[in-house]
Amino acid sequence: MADLTKTDAAAPTVWRAHGRTRRSTRTVRVRTSAVIVTAVALAVLLVPPLVQLDEQAVDLALKLQPPSLAHPFGTDDVGRDLLLRCVYGLRVSLLVGLVAALVATVIGTAVGAAAAAFGGWTDRVVMRVVDTFSSVPHLLLGIFIVAMFRPGVWPVIVSVALTHWLSTARIVRSEVLSLRSRPYIDAAVSGGASRGRVIVRHLLPGVLPQAALAAVLMVPHAMWHESALSFLGLGLPSHQASLGNLIQSARGSLLAGDWWPTLFPGLFLIVPTLAVAGLAGAWRERIHPRRRSELML
C-alpha cells in the first residue's frame, strides 16, 4: 500500500520533469532556428554589396579546388567561388519563395474567405474548382505553366504561386466557417452589418494569423519547387545562380568524386528550410495553446 502511495506521489514529478525537458528542447530549437534565419537574412542582404567580387567570374586555373581558406566552399567546374555562388543562389531562391508565397497566400485567402462567407452554390463551385486543381500534381502543373514562358524569375514565381494557393484556400475556408458560428458574427448581422462589412471587419482579421502561418510554411516549399524546376532545366536560365541550377550543374562533378559542388548548395537549401519550419512550429503552438499543451505531455 505504501508503494502505491509513493508511486502516485512520484507520477506528477515525472510528468513535470518531462514537460520541462520538452520546453527546454523546444526553446533550444526555436533559438537555433532564429539564429539560422538571422544569419541567412544577413548573408543575403549584406554579402552582395559588401563583397566586391563577380560571382560569374571564371578562372579555369582554379577549377574544382577543394575547400580551403581562400575558398571555404571550394570552387566549381569553371573556377567560380562556390560560397559566393551559394549566397547569390540562396538570394534568388529566397526571392522566388517569398514573392510566390505572398501571392499564393493572397489568392488563397481571398478565394477561401469568399467561398465560406457567401456559402451555398458559390462555396460548392469554388471548392470543386479547388479539388480539380488539387488532383493535378503541383510539379506537373508548374512545368506546364513554366513551359509557356521563357526561362526567368517571374515565370517561376507565377508557376509556384498558381500551384500553391489551394491549401491556403482550404485552411481559410475552414477557419471562416468556424468564425461564422460565433455569437459576435450573429450580433453584427442582426445589427444590420452588410455581408462585405462582416467579411472585412470580422472574418478576415480572424483568419489572418492562420494565413500568415501558411505563408511562412509556404516559403521553403516554394524554394524547393523553384529548385526542382531549375534542376530540370525549366526554371531560371542556367547561367543565373540559383540553388537548383547549382545542384544541377554539379552532377558531373559528383560522379567524378568532387563532393563539395553538390553538398554546399544542398545544405543552403536544407538548413534554412528546417530553420523556417522550426519557427513556424513554435508559431503554430502559440496560435493553438491546446495543441501546445498536448505536445508537452
- Span 87-130, pLDDT tens digits: 888 888 888 888 998 999 999 888 888 888 777 888 888 888 88
Residues 3-18, mean pLDDT to the nearest whole number:
51
Q: What percent of the chain has pLDDT over 90?
A: 1
End-to-end alpha carbon distance in the chain: 27
The pLDDT, as a whole number, for residue 23 is 63
**Beta carbons within 8 Å of 28's beta carbon, 6+ residues apart:** none
The pLDDT, as a whole number, for residue 243 is 85
